[in-house]
Amino acid sequence: MSQKILLDKINVPGIKTYEVYRREGGYASVEKALKSMTPDDVVEEVKKSGLRGRGGAGFPAGMKWSFIDKKSGKPRHLVCNADESEPGTFKDRYLMEFIPHLLIEGMITSSFALGANRSYIYIRGEYMWVFKILERAIAEAKAAGWLGKNILGTGYDLELHVHCGAGAYICGEETALIESLEGKRGNPRIKPPFPAVSGLWANPTVVNNVETIAAVPWIVNNSGDDYAKIGIGRSTGTKLISASGNVKNPGVYEIELGLSVDEFMNSDEYLGGMSSNRPLKALVPGGSSVPILPADLIFKTANGEDRLMTYESLSDGGFATGSMLGSGGFIVYDDTACIVRNTWNFSRFYHHESCGQCTPCREGTGWLEKVLWRIENGQGREEDIDLLWSIQSKIEGNTICPLGDAASWPVAAAIRHFREEFEYHVRFPERIKNRDHFVNEPFEKVRHLIAKQTV
């Protein structure tokens, strides 16, 4: 069994409640930080830990904290990004639902490190019952003296509240999240200025993912160096992986970074292999935005090395033969899945979620969806495949926020690795009329038809 940092107490009966959480050693990091450390000491430990942002981008958390503007003298804020909505990702919900005090403890310790006296947890509106769980947990923590004025008699004040969104993927982008927290539409802001200088109500603000903040108590209780001992190279610590799709045991798993993809996928401790005993066709390892990998690039990199669950190994080979760890949304496809249909589905998602500010994304995501839909429905043209490639390449890098990139990458990767499947759809429209077209006749069985036609 590998080491658990976030989920080690998840099965303790009653861990959702303050009493049990406290009895199990909860809130120790607040005591330690407030009574025996300076804010800078906490930042230093987090830097040493090598902890990287768990929302998807993987930016070093300690470094992000060190950017916060302390010179201006303005109030500072910590905002927790609990707007989890990347398709394939459902780990933050698991933490908040089953061990809510871990996040609250992390928020207090982290807010202290940043010198923030007013912090928020921004949770997606669909997780309304989790919003209520957090509200109650905050009230419990406050009643026990962990929040409010002069916490533990140290002179440190903190107000913590939970704020709910209302159904907008874009609010997971940190500046859109801040806009939304200010009661506005979730339109991302142009950077710079970065939130660390001008964020919530134009005050210096740090936005961190739930899982990132939940790792801070362990780092403070033990040490940054101890955390850095787990994992491989710059991928330190543990990571929550949300597994879904055609696997035997879908769910949320805490792994030590560095576990092999093969072991995660096939061992009984984790996913237990495919649910259907059908062949593995493809994998999206880090949420819908990251490039999809074909079967031959999942367990081994293009160089023939074992593919590991680390930031570096999953991106080995760049976009040509690699992908990304992203948010840890691990989506597994067997041979009944249609890559064209799946790509259309993702494009529909991004079209729906585009905020509409930037033309390339607002229009481009709609074009991607339409062209993919006509290919999937037997009305595609040969030149549509190149058209898709052209559209995605014109969205990528040309938008204020990364939603444009996130919409482009899945399309580019699908064409890069599964071009023949697109060609099959275009050339044999009568064979793909039924939406389950690969269930009885997986692509491997009909691939030869494409080969015959290629001149």
Partner 1 sequence: MERTHHKQEINMTETLMNRINELISHYPEDKKKSALLPVLHEVQDAHDNWLSIELMDKVAEILEILPIEVYEVATFYTMFNLKPIGKYMFEFCQTSCCCLRGTEDLMDYTCEKLGVGIGETTPDGLFEVRGVECLGACGYAPMMQLGDFYKEHLTREKIDQLIADCRDNKIILHDK
Give the residues lining the site for partner 1 (CB under 8 A): 84-90, 93, 118, 124-129, 132, 161, 163-169, 180-186, 201, 242-246, 250-252, 288, 329, 331, 333, 337, 341-342, 345-346, 348-349, 352-353, 355, 435
- Secondary element (H or E) of residue 405: helix 403-427
Render the burial of 426-452: b for 16+ CB within 10 Å, e for the rest.
Answer: bebeeebeeeebbeeebbeebeeebee
Whichever of 92 and 256 has its CB closer to partner 1, that residue is: 92
Q: State in angstroms the smallest separation of the CB of 244 from partner 1.
A: 4
Q: State in angstroms the smallest separation of the CB of 174 from partner 1.
A: 16
Whichever of 125 and 429 has its CB closer to partner 1, that residue is: 125
Whichever of 21 and 127 has its CB closer to partner 1, that residue is: 127
Whichever of 122 and 218 has its CB closer to partner 1, that residue is: 122
CA distance 210 to 105: 11
Query: Half-sphere exposure of 147 toward its Cβ, with a 13 Å CA cutoff?
Result: 21
Contacts of 434 (CB under 8 A, 6+ apart): none
Whichever of 35 and 352 has its CB closer to partner 1, that residue is: 352
Whichever of 261 and 274 has its CB closer to partner 1, that residue is: 274
Peptide bond into 250 cis (omega under 30): no
Q: What is the dihedral of CA 59, 63, 64, 66, to 10 degrees?
A: 180
Q: State in angstroms the smallest separation of the CB of 444 from partner 1.
A: 18
CA distance 98 to 91: 11
* Residue that the structure tokens 């792994």 belong to: 255
- Secondary element (H or E) of residue 23: helix 18-23
Whichever of 22 and 248 has its CB closer to partner 1, that residue is: 248
Q: State in angstroms the smallest separation of the CB of 438 from partner 1.
A: 12
Strand partners, 122: 81, 163
Q: State in angstroms the smallest separation of the CB of 284 from partner 1.
A: 8
Q: State in angstroms the smallest separation of the CB of 133 from partner 1.
A: 9
* Eight-class DSSP state of 436: T
Q: State in angstroms the smallest separation of the CB of 342 from partner 1.
A: 5
- Residues counted in the chain: 455
Whichever of 348 and 374 has its CB closer to partner 1, that residue is: 348
Q: State in angstroms the smallest separation of the CB of 59 from partner 1.
A: 22
How many other CB atoms are found less than 10 A from the CB of residue 358?
A: 19
In terms of C-beta distances under 8 Å and separation of at least 24 residues, what long-range contacts does 23-27 make, across chains too? Answer: 26/101, 26/102, 26/105, 27/101, 27/105, 27/108, 27/141, 27/146
